[in-house]
Amino acid sequence: MPTSESAPEDEAVVQTAADAAEDVIFSAYKQSAVRDYDVTVVFEESVLEVDVYLNVPDDAGERNPDAVADEAALAARSAVDDLFGE
């Protein structure tokens, strides 16, 4: 893991994760089709927690909303891994 001098700021970690999760959500569904969503990202003491809630109508698309939410959370974690890899 990078030293504290080279590690990204906590705010950058949270924003990176949230952006990546939103990218997955809105690549799977039109923004107008998403009734509600919430991406909760907590980064404390070098521990990342990501929770994605997604509410879309049954006829919003072919993708399962739970699977998209899981994919969004994984993308968020991956984006943060990439951020620390830089």
Residue spans per domain, the chain: 10-85
Question: For the domain with range 10-85, which CATH number is right: 3.40.50.1820, 3.30.70.260, 3.30.300.100, 3.30.70.660?
Answer: 3.30.300.100
Give the residue from 70, 54, 52, 61 showing the smallest Cα distance to 28.
Answer: 61
Statement: the pTM of the whole predicted model exceeds 0.75: yes
Per-residue pLDDT tens over the stretch 16-65: 999 999 999 999 999 999 999 999 999 999 999 999 999 999 888 789 99
C-alpha closest to that of 10 among 40, 57, 46: 46
The closest of 63, 49, 55 to 18, measured between CA atoms, is 49
Predicted confidence (pLDDT) per residue in 62-84, tens digit: 899 999 999 999 999 999 999 99
- How far is residue 55's CA from residue 57's CA, in Å, rounded to a whole number? 7
What local confidence, expressed as pLDDT, does residue 2 receive?
Answer: 47
